[in-house]
Amino acid sequence: MKNIKVLAKIFADLRTGEDIRRLMLELFTQSELNTLSKRWQILNLLNQKMKQRDIAAQLQVSLCKVTRGSKILKKTNTIVKKYLDGDKANDNNIQKNTK
Amino acid sequence: MKNIKVLAKIFADLRTGEDIRRLMLELFTQSELNTLSKRWQILNLLNQKMKQRDIAAQLQVSLCKVTRGSKILKKTNTIVKKYLDGDKANDNNIQKNTK
DNA sequence: CCAATCGTTTCTATTAACAGAAACAAATTT
DNA sequence: AAATTTGTTTCTGTTAATAGAAACGATTGG
């Protein structure tokens, strides 16, 4: 299943990063947000060709999480890859002080 | 922490519901997607004043999940409430056959 | 070919979210 | 006010994701 489309539509409707961020803070637990954040950082670092053991050490996660990220990146035609290979990916790492 | 802003920005950048949906399918496990989907349905039904035990029965979730949703809805000035009270909420339930 | 490095898998233990049931509390009905 | 309904909390057990360690496998350089 199922209603993922519904959820995706909600995020799409919200449009601004600030509103989406607030919704995520309401919907997810702190633990889940951490997990999600790490998950994305793993993908980003993997895409930058950092060694898997280095990623695990730097982000303080286990190798199984890194391997899982690796599997995601092996798929072709993914949104993940498309996004990471775009210029936006690096913008996000700089973390400018927009607030 | 932390980099929730980064993740929120990614969703915001994607813009279309279809792209966001695809990214979610790549990032989350099936189990997590189910959880998330149920979580939103709970909020929606709670907001429609359905009784908590009925919600639990209909969605086949435990009361603790419903109570958690209830706590979210009790907060004021949330994106969740703003969204559920808007007209978009009902659109999403109809689930038109756009694919 | 061998050794080292790296990606991947496997194993057991841990943890957070959750199920299911019961108890408790607040509200409503009568 | 007593009984019923509904919201909330508490309890124990379960499950999926994960940590940590080790092993396995592939690749590469020597």
Q: For residue range A12-46, what is the model confidence (pLDDT) as tens digits?
A: 999 899 999 999 999 999 999 999 999 999 999 99
C-alpha span between B38 and A4 (Å, rounded): 10
C-alpha span between A51 and A59 (Å, rounded): 12
C-alpha span between A91 and A88 (Å, rounded): 5
Q: Which nucleotides of strand C come closer than 7 angstroms to any CB of the protein?
A: 6-11, 16-22
Contact A39 B27 (CB under 8 A): yes
Tell me what pLDDT residue A89 has: 53
Q: Nearest nucleotide, C1' to the C-alpha of B56? A: C19
Residue B13 CA: distances (Å) to CA of A49, B5, B24, B51, B96: 24, 12, 14, 37, 25
Tell me what pLDDT residue A11 has: 93
| Per-residue tokens: A29 | 């637990």
| Per-residue tokens: A90 | 């690096």
B residues 67-86 closer than 8 Å to A (CB) = 72, 75, 78-80, 83
Which structural domains are found in chain B, ordered by start? 4-94 (1.10.1270)
Judge if the beta carbon of A22 is closer than 7 A to nucleic acid strand C: no
pTM of the model: 0.86
> Amino acid letter at A88?
K
Which residue's structure tokens are 């999940």? B65
Average pLDDT over residues B14-41: 94
